[in-house]
Amino acid sequence: MAEEEEEVEEKLEKEGEDEVEEEEGLDYKIENVVATVVVEITEKIDLKQIARKHADVEYNPERFPGLVMRILKPKATILIFSTG
């Protein structure tokens, strides 16, 4: 377990954390991972058309500007914006 704690500490320090306090018996669980992909496109994506064709998406532009797609395997939520 000590090696795992050191790895977590090193990664957090690389990401800008000044100091990570060591605690005996540190128990952690990764809950969320966020990734961003920027797609260079010349035309806007028609989110209404995607929402009509796929039942597993939510699109309500009055509440949120992006289309929300939830998939089960792997469990993930994907946000798609008209600008790519």
Note the pLDDT tens digit of each residue in 22-51: 566 777 778 888 989 888 889 999 999 999
Q: At 36, is the secondary structure helix, strand, or coil? A: coil
In 3D space, the residue among 27, 56, 61, 28 whose CA is nearest the CA of residue 44 turns out to be: 61
Return the CATH fold of 32-84.
TATA-Binding Protein (3.30.310)
pLDDT confidence band for 74 (50 / 70 / 90): confident
What pLDDT score was predicted for residue 22? 59
- pTM exceeding the 0.75 threshold for the entire prediction: no
Q: What single-letter DSSP state applies at residue 65?
A: S
CA distances from 12 to 8, 9, 30 (A): 6, 5, 13
Domain extents for the chain? 1-30, 32-84
pLDDT above 90 covers a percentage of the chain that reads 39
How far is residue 70's CA from residue 81's CA, in Å, rounded to a whole number? 15
